Amino acid sequence: MRRLALAVSAALTLTAVCTAVPATAQAHGGPSPLGIANCTATACHFDVPPGTYDVRLVLGGDTASSTAVTGETRRALLPETAVPAGGRVTRGFTVDVRTPEGEPTGAEGTAGLDLTFGGTAPALAAIRVTPARHAHRLFLVGDSTVCDQPGEPYAGWGQELPQFLREGVAVANHADSGESTVTYLGNPLLWATVQARVRPGDPVLIQLAHNDKTTDEVTYRANLETLVAGVREKGGRPVLVTPIVRRWFNADGTLDNGTALLVNGLGVDHPAVIRSVAADRDVPLIDLTARTKALVESLGVEGSKALYLYNEKRDNTHTSVHGATVYAELVRDELVTRHLVPKGTVRVG
């Protein structure tokens, strides 16, 4: 830590509102990764191999600051954090570095770990990246409403979830746009890749329904059971998640019982099947359908538009950054209630 203190004292002002002490991270097993050459005023790049890394930041500067951190493919890693003039605060998070860095069937992205600093007045005083030796990993299996969306204005709730977790838990988001239970199981870049990574005790959240439009009930149920069994085979902890609702209203202000609540053209009530499998197989259930239904109906036809991309795209299925963040908070609350992450590793408020 004495080397870190010396580096901080020698920091150069990069802009009027953002100062940085760059750091480098070396491969697993290397020396303490304190360096001086890998950050600019608004971003850092660390040439590290795939793996799980702890990131420790010191935020603040001579003037009042407010800093948020995103990483890799637009993942929200730290919510905007205000620091008074002359103050310093330390924050940390754990990040999953992989290739591809976003959607499993998407572009590879940039090798290593990339962090970007935003907020109204970002200021980075120091940073350290180290291999995470004892971190827990939270896996996500899902579709476009969950995934790390590569471009604005889209965002998945899994993309916004990491900002609500402290150092010690990494979100490994393997959700992929357009996937059903059928295609997710059938693509080696998806389920086979996830299953190979799961370690004993790892929670695996499974939300697949939006694209099972032509999947019959017998097949859908069997696919969910296959995913559950596959997680347990590796010693992981399967968690079934009912899908977020679509924003389709009836005239009376309630959500449509078909399209909005994920009943497909064959009459398969996806949330009902998920709840049934969870009960039959003794699997924890996050009923995101029920929670998002209650929220959307409470906001009403106009108020709920901001959760989705209605204004931008006339899209009532995919969420905005705001909507994905709100839905990620619902998931965070369920993680706490169901004891799916260690005590003290969740950011609240």
Judging by DSSP bridges, how do beta strands 136-142 and 169-173 pair with one another? parallel
pLDDT for 333-349, tens place per residue? 999 999 999 989 999 86
Which tens digits make up the pLDDT trace of 16-30? 233 333 333 333 444
What does pLDDT average to over the chain? 90
* The pairing of beta strand 113-121 with beta strand 285-286: unpaired
Burial class of residue 51 in the structure, from the number of CB atoms within 10 Å of its CB (0-12 exposed, 13-18 middle, 19+ buried): middle
**Closest of 301, 300, 296 to residue 323, by C-alpha:** 296
What's CA 18's distance to the chain center, in Å? 26
> CA–CA distance from 75 to each of 24, 85, 163, 280, 304 (Å)?
20, 28, 8, 34, 23
Cα distance between residue 338 and residue 39, in whole Å: 39
Query: How many C-beta atoms surround the C-beta of residue 133 within 10 A?
Result: 8
Give me the pLDDT at residue 22, please.
37
Query: How much is the pLDDT for 4?
Result: 33
Q: What is the mean pLDDT of residues 64-82?
A: 97
The per-residue pLDDT for 259 is: 96
- Find out whether 41 and 20 touch, Cβ atoms under 8 Å: yes
Identify the pLDDT of residue 48. 93
Q: Dump pLDDT digits (tens) for 295-330.
A: 999 999 999 999 999 999 999 999 999 999 999 999
According to the CATH classification, is domain 136-337 in 3.40.50.1110? yes
Q: Is 62 helix (H, G, I), strand (E, B) or coil?
A: coil
Q: Residue with structure tokens 């590879």?
A: 108
Q: What pLDDT score does 6 carry?
A: 28
Whether 206 contacts 224, CB under 8 Å: yes
The answer for residues whose C-beta is within 8 angstroms of residue 71's C-beta and 6 or more apart is 77, 95, 113, 114, 115, 116
Q: In the chain, helix, strand, coil percent, each to 5?
A: 30, 30, 45
Q: Which of 58, 54, 66 is nearest to 22 (CA)?
A: 58
Half-sphere exposure of 8 (CA within 13 A, CB side): 18
Q: Cis peptide before 153, with omega less than 30 degrees from 0?
A: yes
Domain 2-131, CATH class in plain words: mainly beta
The β-bridge partners of 131 are 53
Q: What is the pTM of this model?
A: 0.90
Cis amide bond preceding 100, omega within 30: yes
Q: Where are the domains of the chain?
A: 2-131, 136-337
Across the strands, what pairs with 269?
263
Q: What percent of the chain has pLDDT over 90?
A: 86
CA triple 33-38-121, angle to 5 deg: 110
